[in-house]
């Protein structure tokens, strides 16, 4: 029997709706078992700390464990690949960082596309850096540093945790916008002992590991890379006060595999927004140099696109290649 076209369309639509019901029901019940937050860095570093802080409170609020799983390697690409190829059911999440948007341009041959394969879930906050110099460097302000660097090209060594890392890229952005020459010195381990000893003269360092050295006058803070001054170091000016338009922070957020139900994404977004709005959690994040900021998934997606385009320009300017 041949069905009329209108009846056939109704049946097809009904079948599609029925097929979607199990996923919708799963989204409403989510989570019913432990979920995993994959982190592309070793335990003890800032991404790991942030993931554990957020995961612990998510578990308390939602009644299921959010287990942090460290998958370091290939500049956080290993962790991203795991999540990109995971089942899109909300039980495998990615602790997203600024490195993900840098890697979009830096690495050409990977088995995923961060922008295409990872759904933005929730933004946690920016993670600005401090431009810290050895006290022997005769520059006490950002303008003095720029003048000294222009008068002494190639004589200031800039340390970073490696080629293409966020501290490296914010330094390259500074070079690009000021026209100065800083010699990049990438490290595989900690460069802090050499910076304190004066073997290298400058670095863009996260707030938490640098603030003790700054207060002890072992390092001199010239500026912060955020658009505005930070509460953690209120007396340190923003670099943008002297270099108009300069801003180069790291950041943290949560992503999920492409195809994750919108209801799960929205639920996680609401929960994470509530977590970072809590005064106690906000204070802990601020102490780590991470001012909490809420975004909708759509806003986070736009932010990721803007960051990807921004760092692509810096990578091309510096002609960077992955290690």
Query: Can you tell me the distance from the alpha carbon of 30 to that of 260, in angstroms, rounded to the nearest whole number?
Result: 12
**pLDDT tens-digit readout, 41-83:** 888 878 999 999 999 999 999 999 999 999 988 888 999 999 9
Q: Inform me whether the pLDDT recorded for 40 exceeds 80.
A: yes
pTM of the predicted structure, to 2 decimals? 0.82
Give the CATH number of domain 31-127+249-318. Answer: 3.40.190.150
Q: How many Cα atoms within 13 Å fall on the side-chain side of residue 231?
A: 11
Give the CATH number of domain 129-241. Answer: 3.40.190.10
Q: Could you state, in order of their start, the residue ranges of all structural domains in the chain?
A: 31-127+249-318, 129-241
Return the H-helix or E-strand segment holding 132: strand 129-133
Q: Inform me whether the pLDDT recorded for 4 exceeds 80.
A: no
3-state helix, strand, coil in the chain (%, to 5): 50, 20, 35
Per-residue burial over 189-205, b if 16 or more Cβ lie within 10 Å, else e, is: eebbebbbeeebbbbbb
Q: Which residues on adjacent β-strands are paired with residue 257?
A: 118
Residue with tokens 């199990």: 22
**pLDDT tens-digit readout, 52-61:** 999 999 999 9
Same fold, 31-127+249-318 and 129-241: yes
**CB contact set of 178 (below 8 Å; sequence gap of 6+):** 146, 149, 243
| pLDDT-wise least confident of 4-13, 16-25, 108-117, 283-292 | 4-13
Q: How many Cα atoms within 13 Å fall on the side-chain side of residue 273?
A: 13
Which pLDDT value is given to residue 21?
A: 46
Helices (H) and strands (E) in the chain, counts: 12, 10
């Amino acid at each position: 029997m041949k069905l009329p076209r209108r009846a056939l369309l109704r049946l097809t639509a009904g079948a599609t709706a029925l097929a979607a019901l199990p996923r919708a029901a799963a989204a409403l019940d989510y989570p019913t078992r432990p979920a995993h937050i994959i982190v592309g860095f070793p335990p003890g570093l800032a991404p790991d700390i942030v993931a554990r802080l957020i995961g612990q409170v998510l578990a308390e609020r939602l009644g299921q464990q959010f287990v942090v799983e460290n998958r370091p390697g290939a500049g956080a690409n290993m962790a991203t690949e795991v999540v990109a190829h995971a089942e899109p059911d909300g039980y495998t999440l990615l602790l997203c960082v600024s490195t993900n948007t840098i890697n979009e341009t830096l690495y050409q041959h990977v088995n995923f596309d961060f922008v295409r394969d990872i759904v933005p879930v929730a933004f946690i906050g920016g993670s600005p850096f401090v431009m810290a110099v050895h006290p022997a460097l005769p520059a006490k302000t950002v303008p003095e540093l720029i003048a000294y660097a222009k008068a002494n090209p190639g004589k200031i060594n800039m340390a970073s945790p490696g080629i293409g890392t966020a501290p490296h890229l914010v330094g390259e952005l500074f070079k690009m916008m000021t026209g100065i020459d800083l010699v990049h010195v990438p490290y595989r381990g900690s460069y802090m002992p050499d910076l304190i000893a004066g073997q290298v003269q400058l670095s863009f360092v996260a707030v938490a590991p640098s603030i003790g050295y700054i207060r002890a006058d072992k390092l001199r803070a010239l500026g912060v890379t955020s658009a505005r001054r930070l509460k953690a170091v209120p007396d340190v000016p923003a670099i943008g006060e002297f270099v108009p338009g300069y801003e180069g922070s790291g950041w943290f957020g949560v992503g999920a595999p492409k195809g994750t139900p919108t209801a799960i994404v929205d639920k996680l977004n609401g929960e994470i927004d509530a977590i970072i709005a809590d005064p106690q959690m906000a204070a802990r994040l601020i102490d780590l140099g991470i001012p909490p900021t809420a975004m909708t998934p759509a806003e986070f997606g736009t932010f990721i696109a803007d960051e990807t385009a921004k760092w692509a320009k810096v990578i091309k300017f510096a002609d960077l290649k992955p290690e």
